[in-house]
Amino acid sequence: MLLHIPDVLSREQLSHMRVALDATDWTDGRETVGAQGARVKRNQQLPDTSPLRQQLGQTVLSALAKHPLYHAATLPLRTLPPRFNRYEGGSHYGFHVDGAVMALPGDAGQLRSDISCTLFLSEPDDYDGGELIVSDTYGEHEVKLPAGDLIVYPSSSLHRVAPVTRGARLASFFWVQSLIRDDGRRQLLFELDASIQALTQSGADAAALLRLTGVYHNLLRQWAET
C-alpha cells in the first residue's frame, strides 16, 4: 500500500529542523548501507551517532504518535529511529530494495522492515528532481510531497530517488515492523477501519457498527504478530 499521510509536522517544527540541519555536518550516505546500496547511493546523511539525529528523530516519533492515520495505516510494532538525508548537486539513489532485517539501537534486538517511510522536510518548489519513485506491478509512481507530509510504502518495493538538479532535498526516513506482516492484509484492515470511521461520522446504525468493529478486531487478533 502506497499512502500519503499529510501534516505530520507543524510549520514551527519544520522551520526548527531546517535551521538545525542547514547548520550541521553531514557524512557520506553510503556509510549506512550494504554493498548493493553503496553501488547506487549518492547522497549525504546525518551521522547515526549525531545528537541532533536523536533529538530530531524524537520530534518525528512524537508527532507520529499523535497521528491516527499513520497508526491506522502502519499498525506499528517496532520503529527504527528516524534518520535524515540531503540530496543536492545531482545526488541521487538508484533503484534498490531495502534490507529485510535491521538492527535496533543498543541491545533492543532486530526489526523486520515491513514498511518504508519518507517524511519530506523541503518544499517541492525548493528543489528540482528528487522524486521518490516506487515501482510495483502497476508501474512507477513518482512522489514529491509538501514539507511535513509522509509517504509510506512496502519495504519490499523496488524504489529510487531521482537526481536533484537544483536546490536541496531534505528528508527523514525510517522503517516500521508492523503487527501485520502481510501488506494485503494490512491494507484490508486499513480500509475496514476507514469505513468504520466514516460510518460513525454519518450516524450509521450503532448495532451494525458494533458488529463491524468486532470484525476488525477479530481479524487483527487473528493476524497480528507480537
Least confident of 22-36, 72-86, 123-137: 22-36
CA atoms within 13 A on the CB side of 208: 9
Residue 182 has pLDDT above 90, yes or no: yes
pLDDT confidence of 30, banded at 50, 70, 90?
Answer: confident
Q: Return the pLDDT at 138.
A: 87
* Domain span(s) for CATH 2.60.120.620 in the chain: 3-178
Q: How far apart are CA 1 and CA 91, in angstroms?
A: 27
| pLDDT score recorded for residue 173 | 98
Q: Give the pLDDT band of residue 39 (cuts 50, 70, 90).
A: confident
Query: What is residue 29's DSSP assignment?
Result: G
83 within 8 A of 98, measured Cβ to Cβ: no
Does residue 189 register a pLDDT over 90? yes
Quick check: 148 pLDDT over 80? yes
Tens-place pLDDT, residues 153-174: 999 999 999 999 999 999 999 9
Q: How many CA atoms lie within 13 A of 97 on its CB side?
A: 10
The three three-digit cell numbers of residue 63, written as one number:
508527532
**CATH 4.10.860.20 boundaries in the chain:** 183-223
Q: CATH assignment of 183-223?
A: 4.10.860.20
Q: Comparing C-alpha atoms, which of 110, 47, 111 is closest to residue 84?
A: 47
> What is the Cα–Cα distance from 178 to 6, expressed in whole angstroms?
20
Distance in angstroms (rounded) separating the CA atoms of residues 222 and 219:
5
Mean pLDDT (the chain) is 95
Name residue 141's amino acid: H
Question: Mapping DSSP to helix (H, G, I), strand (E, B) and coil, where does residue 149 land?
Answer: coil
CA distance linking residue 32 with residue 99, whole number of Å:
11
To the question of pTM greater than 0.85 for the whole model, the response is yes
Percent of the chain whose predicted confidence (pLDDT) is above 90:
91
User: Topology of domain 3-178, per CATH?
Assistant: Jelly Rolls (2.60.120)
Which distant-in-sequence residues (6+ apart) come within 8 Å of 16 by Cβ?
Answer: none
- Return d(Cα 19, Cα 58) in angstroms, integer: 17
What's the confidence (pLDDT) of residue 31? 76
- Nearest Cα neighbor of 178 from 90, 116, 99 is 116
Q: How much is the pLDDT for 92?
A: 96
- Percent over 70 (pLDDT), the chain: 98
Q: Burial letters for 177-205: b for 16+ Cβ neighbours within 10 Å, e otherwise?
A: bbbbeebebbbbbbebbeebeeeeeeeee
Dist. CA 218–CA 212, nearest whole Å: 10
